Structure 1
């Protein structure tokens, strides 16, 4: 099925939109995977495709992409690029492996729109030989779409280890897992943190609506890029309309060092996403011993154990989200127990080294000329 070199080194292409310098969790996964493959001696070439609107990306199939994807032993592709690769994949004579963070058709939107996305994604997987998934949830969604060989390679949550270690502020711990136990600092308001791009799927509008019904002393800091400027403007208007100007601060996009500082000073991470294939930010917060409020939509439950490391709410349910905030506001001891469990969960999670090992073993099978793919 593929070509195997005598020295065991694979020549791999890795397809992404833009470049690996993008800062979202999915791009961090891709970047760390490329670094891990290269550290094992494999020759990895990153093939960057231009960012375009979804419909316009379909026109990329008129270009000669297959020439850019030739000469490799296997081609890995961030599934985000799927509308651009329908034609090129069918022309390749080497294994094509999708790296899937979550399916676009799994996101919440009108049924007819998701039906269209599902049709394109199904066509994409017709030209794919196998898939690396970031969670069991993502794996099941891929299998429902097309039955392809898959493996689950969980991402690590160590994004802020270097940021904290390199900080010049001596008051910070040398690594996140050495932060104070959540609940030790019970004076002052409950400090809530949202960390993620400002797009509608992240559910910040639901969080604001929930917090408008929560009395008492609390603050929310929203850290994230204005990826969708129109949505970000709506959020500012909603905050003001709900009378939350004094309690909710939009901090914008911050450096890792600055984001780590917010994590170290917060009590709870709130991730009210309407859907996440996994939710890497939950694990990153657990590195700081933070309990997490997340939703049941997608793969969050693979990281957040309800009642143990945090609380899970139905998606788009402001009442349930408000109840979860009240629960952690009113019980510092519960915050402390959940924070300790969250930190333990983080410490027992696979490392990027283990992630790379899983993917390399899978690629060995995929490129096996006998075709013995699991």
Structure 2
């Protein structure tokens, strides 16, 4: 079975959605399938919409059995559907219509175009239960939605970071995510700054240059005296290196306000880390407050500080939550499971179309 995945830009981009696609592509052959990437150019909005007809022609020329439409590319082909000669279209949604990183007119317009594209989809595969709930509430047909959650296993052969991540403090806190505003890095820095100096060393793993303005604000805050020597920025790391950080840390924290799945939460739990974040998005679907982690009211930096303090100074509680997180993660799919479900769903649509 040949599947063409229509996405945006470089498939090697290091974010959760792109990693999801590459990991299922790596497992396509094991599922008697092949997945080819077709990319919308990363021109400024809304110029990529003009590339829609050319991309649809290219898809038709590939003669796939199905088209998998990435949610970050849906708006760019929405105006040009339906297109004769295309096989069944299956949406792969990592975000709701309109996206999660846009506001105002951009979000409103993209929402309209996304919804138009999904009207021509035979199936919508959704990356999380939380996102599926959001889509049902927004009026998307419930019978078209199937959750295909990402795997919990980020990579084999982990590469350990150098040195002791605690650096003489009570605990090492790890946060994995690119430096964009919705990841809440400034809130996390404020929470760490409010802790006693011996409490935690915070390690940031992720691309600091995705949003230059926000990245500059994070760098300025890190340099202030109350955080001196308490935060280490490691930049972008390979999946194997990220696993090494998970295994070397004591606590995982991500103060993200909008996380449709939060793959890194599942990965951290699989490595045996208690997780800390806002009681929002998909985190409540993954970790129970007080059992596998601590989920505090969104935007309440004081409560975030309290959560980090409790895990830094109460090692028995931290270990208990770590063990619970590891056990809980065993109920999450691994990437072989994810790929099997995804290609099974696509194959069912293809076979139904042929009958």
If the length of structure 1 is used for normalisation, what is the TM-score?
Answer: 0.84
Q: Secondary structure at the match of 1:194?
A: strand
Inter-partner Cα distance in structure 2 for 1:257 and 1:109: 31
Name the structure 1 match of 2:95. Answer: 102
- The Cα of 1:216 is off from its aligned counterpart by 4.4
CA deviation map 1:79-120 (0-9, x unaligned): 111222113441144211111112263637656654343223
Name the structure 1 match of 2:207. Answer: 225
Q: Does 1:327 align with 2:327?
A: no
- Please show how residues 11-90 of structure 1 align to structure 2 within 5 Å: 11-61=2-52, 63-70=53-60, 71-90=63-82
Retained in 2: the 8 A contact 1:57–1:83?
Answer: no
Alignment counterpart, residue 211 of structure 1, candidates 175, 192, 206: 192
CA deviation map 1:151-192 (0-9, x unaligned): 11111121133335xx799x9xxxxxxxxxxxxx99733211
Q: 1:76 to 1:108 in 2, by over 3 A?
A: closer
> More deviation in 51-60 or 222-231?
51-60
Alignment counterpart, residue 127 of structure 1, candidates 120, 130, 144: 120
Retained in 2: the 8 A contact 1:285–1:292?
Answer: yes
- The Cα of 1:332 is off from its aligned counterpart by 0.9
Name the structure 1 match of 2:145. Answer: 150
Q: Secondary structure at the match of 2:158?
A: helix
Retained in 2: the 8 A contact 1:65–1:88?
Answer: no
- The Cα of 1:370 is off from its aligned counterpart by 6.1
Q: Secondary structure at the match of 1:99?
A: strand
Inter-partner Cα distance in structure 1 for 2:39 and 2:329: 32
Inter-partner Cα distance in structure 1 for 2:344 and 2:91: 15
Q: Does 1:261 align with 2:244?
A: yes
Alignment counterpart, residue 141 of structure 1, candidates 134, 157, 161: 134
Q: 1:255 to 1:55 in 2, by over 3 A?
A: same
Retained in 2: the 8 A contact 1:108–1:274?
Answer: no
Q: Secondary structure at the match of 1:138?
A: helix
- The Cα of 1:371 is off from its aligned counterpart by 8.4
Inter-partner Cα distance in structure 2 for 1:113 and 1:289: 40
> More deviation in 339-348 or 119-128?
119-128
Name the structure 1 match of 2:175. Answer: 194
Inter-partner Cα distance in structure 2 for 1:207 and 1:104: 28
Inter-partner Cα distance in structure 2 for 1:33 and 1:160: 13
Name the structure 1 match of 2:221. Answer: 238
If the length of structure 2 is used for normalisation, what is the TM-score?
Answer: 0.88
Name the structure 2 match of 1:292. Answer: 275
Inter-partner Cα distance in structure 1 for 2:29 and 2:49: 31
Gaps of 5+ in 1: 1-9, 172-184
Q: CA RMSD in A?
A: 2.7
Inter-partner Cα distance in structure 1 for 2:231 and 2:20: 30
- Please show how residues 341-356 of structure 1 align to structure 2 within 5 Å: 341-356=324-339
Retained in 2: the 8 A contact 1:30–1:78?
Answer: no
